[in-house]
């Protein structure tokens, strides 16, 4: 540390604008930290959502293909005697599956975590500390 920088530091601390400048720099640093936290949380949320959607689409596609082949096998087995009953049972099975998927999807969207939940909690904590409560 040079003599000149030490003199500037002492002058800045005793000068009223130096205290405001220091407070302003601290506020900017705090905001930057919170924005970094928000960016990381947003990235994690997006990655988690994309991963969940990909696995859900894969599971639904495999399930539907399995069900479609099962219905084709049922219709082929009943082709000579009860082909209409086989087709109607297959259609009913797909309708029930659509209702179940709709219920699971609506429940999933109701229970999901909110984006930036941690950042908002940290900002509330900062506000409580600043007000002294």
- Give me the residue spans of the domains in the chain: 38-131
What integer pLDDT is reported at residue 15 of this predicted model?
Answer: 60
pTM, full prediction: 0.50
DSSP 15: S
pLDDT for the residue numbered 3: 52
Q: Which residues of the chain are under the pLDDT cut of 70?
A: 1-16, 112-115, 133
Q: Distance (Å, rounded) from C-alpha 88 to C-alpha 3?
A: 92
Alpha-carbon span 34 to 40, nearest angstrom: 10
């Amino acid at each position: 540390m040079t003599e000149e920088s030490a003199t500037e530091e002492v002058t800045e601390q005793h000068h009223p604008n130096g205290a405001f400048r220091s407070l302003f720099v601290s506020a900017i640093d705090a905001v930057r930290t919170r924005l970094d936290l928000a960016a990381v949380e947003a990235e994690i949320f997006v990655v988690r959502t994309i991963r969940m959607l990909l696995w859900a689409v894969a599971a639904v596609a495999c399930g539907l293909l399995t069900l479609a082949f099962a219905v084709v096998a049922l219709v082929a087995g009943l082709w000579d005697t009860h082909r209409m009953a086989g087709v109607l049972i297959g259609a009913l099975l797909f309708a029930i599956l659509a209702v179940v998927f709709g219920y699971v999807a609506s429940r999933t969207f109701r229970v999901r975590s909110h984006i930036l939940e941690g950042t908002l909690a940290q900002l509330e904590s900062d506000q409580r500390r600043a007000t002294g409560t």
